[in-house]
Amino acid sequence: MQRHFDQELEDLRAQILRMGTLVEEQIKQSIQALVDRDVDLASRVIERDTLVNSLDVDIDENCIRLLALQAPAARDLRFVTTAMKISTELERMSDLAENICERVIELNEEPQLKPYIDIPRMANWTMQMVRECLDAFVRSDAVLARKVCADDDFVDNLTHQLFRELLSFMIENPATITRAIRLTFIGKYLERIADHATNVSELVIYMVEGKIVRHTIPPILSNRPS
Amino acid sequence: MTVSAQPCTTLKAEARNLSFFYGNTKALEHISLGLRDRCATALIGPSGCGKTTYLRCMNRMHDLYPGNRYEGELLLYPERINLVGQDIDPIEIRMRIGMVFQKPNPFPKSIYENVAYGLRIREAITRQNLDQAVERALRDAALWSEVKDRLHEQAFNLSGGQQQRLCIARALATGPEMLLFDEPTSALDPSATARIEELVTTLKQKVTIVIVTHNMQQAARVSDYTAFMYEGRLIECDRTEKIFTNPSNKLTEEYVTGRFG
């Protein structure tokens, strides 16, 4: 039986996807702004965060409406509650992209501390995790979701590596401390974005399998080349 | 009434390979289903799936029509009485297993007499004891405060929801161990429905409850266990929260999400 409700669920899926695409773009442009030292671009990313916020509210309202009016059960219920939580995770990711841009604007007041190689690399990994967690959601793919969870360790390692490098700058020359701390923050923000992508993936596993794996997945060291 | 230490841990009744025939038509096919003591179990499934037929086996309602036949066992614990056995007295069973129907069906008598009726045919009882038993049953059915000043009025003067609670009081009067509800709220408005649902939640602390309902949200709200039936077979029985969040069987999933049925 084709249900009218199916169309509403499809619309909700599209809404999440639209928000996800926008958030991916926010992250990408925040790193672009860092590398290109582009204050205008950074400001545009910061402005665009309000758009993400309003999508978050729209999705929330839509989910609450569906829960109240359709009283979904089983996989429909898991889908709606998951969508509601994913929208919160995406909104946080966008906030972090905004934070990156704030640091970019501050960093541009001084000369560049070092060539940006490892941060864009971290950002690529992080963006791939974001893209894949959304793919996993759209395709209800728990295998892909589990892969994203495993990749998080790799991003964590890159963050530590970045911190150690920046620490050496600070020890050698205290004049670099302000910039090094700001770059450390950016590393931390990316690491947090990857954590949110992991959270989304855990939600997807719940949606597909009905199992709550949050706080239970042991850290599996990724075997990717560093 | 036999009281075990913990509700919901032991079985109060259990169908073992129970089949039922209306003449030559097989309506239940090898049902094996345990009903937990002092728990509410909901039976759900599309029309004609056999849930009411199963419910009616429990207090031998089918015996009222010729040509009906049971196969297998339907055991009542702790004595392990086979409810569908030949040697069982249906009247005795109906004292222990009460039933409440879709439409309120009070007797054309006073409120008091409706509740007292079952007690009078059961045993010789003094007037004072009878009064006490009627009051207790009406209190347990959450109706006492509304009718205590007009016990001798006609039962038909009550509202639909009150009549249904009167039927519950009538069923409770004989001190049953189990209550069977066959779509008890389908003829009631939302507030009367809410009162019956509240009542079920209270009653299950004392009696085992089996409820047939087409209203899936009602099953979700009031029951501890839910059994899904389809075409005379039991498809899945599990904790209600499991059935409504993550059922094991594909067919159950399709049904609770409203994709068929």
Q: What is the pLDDT of residue A164?
A: 95
A102 lies in a domain? yes
The domain tally of chain A equals 1
Determine the average pLDDT of the residues in A41-45. 97
Across the range B132-146, mean pLDDT stands at 93
Using pLDDT thresholds of 50, 70 and 90, give the confidence band for residue B34.
Answer: very high
What is the CATH number assigned to the segment(s) B11-256?
Answer: 3.40.50.300
Count CB-CB contacts under 10 A for residue A88: 16
Has residue A223 got a pLDDT over 60? Answer: no
Tell me the pLDDT tens digit for each residue of B144-202: 999 999 999 999 999 999 999 999 999 999 899 999 999 999 888 898 899 899 999 99
Are the Cβ atoms of B245 and A72 closer than 8 angstroms?
A: no
Residue A225 banded pLDDT, cuts 50, 70, 90: very low
Residue A220 lies in a domain: no
- Among A3, A5, A74, the residue with its CB nearest the CB of B244 is A74
Do the chains contact at B246 and A74, CB–CB below 8 Å?
yes
Q: What is the DSSP letter of B82?
A: E
Domain boundary assignment for chain B: 11-256
> Does residue A152 carry a pLDDT above 60?
yes
Convert the pLDDT of each residue in A201-217 to its tens digit.
Answer: 999 999 999 989 888 75
Q: Closest partner residue to B253 among A71, A75, A209, by Cβ?
A: A75
Interchain CB distance below 8 Å, A76 and B260: no
Cβ distance of B245 and A74 shorter than 8 Å: yes
Q: Does residue A100 fall inside a structural domain?
A: yes
Stretch A94-112: mean pLDDT: 97
CATH number of the domain bearing residue A64: 1.20.58.220
- The answer to the question of residue A216 being in a domain is no
- Calculate mean pLDDT across residues A43-71: 95
pLDDT at A183: 97
Contacts of B100 (CB under 8 A, 6+ apart): B164, B167, B168, B171, B179, B180, B181, B182, B184
Assigned token pair, A192: 């947090």
Tens digits of residue pLDDT in B3-16: 444 667 899 999 99
Residue B240 confidence (pLDDT): 94
pLDDT tens digits along A110-141: 999 999 999 999 999 999 999 999 999 999 99
Q: Is the dihedral of CA B51, B57, B59, B61 positive or negative?
A: positive
Residue A199: the pLDDT is 97
- Among chain B residues, the shortest Cα distance to A211 is held by B246
Q: Tell me if A225 is assigned to some domain.
A: no
How far apart are the CA of B225 and the nearest CA of chain A, in angstroms? 15
Is the per-residue pLDDT at B114 higher than 90?
Answer: yes
Residues of A in contact with B246 (CB under 8 A): 74, 78, 209-210
Q: Please count the helices (runs of H) and the strands (runs of E) in chain B.
A: 10, 10
What's the pLDDT at B204? 93
Residues of chain B in contact with residue A208, where contact means CB-CB under 8 angstroms, are none
| pLDDT higher than 60, residue A221 | no
pLDDT at B2 over 50: no
Domain residues for the domain of A35 are 4-209
Closest CA to A180 of A154, A162, A197: A162
Which of A70, A76, A82, A211 has the most B C-beta neighbours within 10 Å, making it the best mutation to test the interface with B?
A: A76
Q: Are B172 and B137 in contact (CB under 8 A)?
A: yes
Average model confidence (pLDDT) across chain A: 93
Which residues of chain A have a CB within 8 Å of the CB of B217?
A: 71
B202: number of Cβ within 10 Å: 12
- For B227-236, how does the pLDDT look when each residue is reduced to its tens digit (9 = 90+)? 999 999 999 9
Cis preceding linkage at B108, omega within 30: no
Q: What pLDDT does A217 receive? A: 58
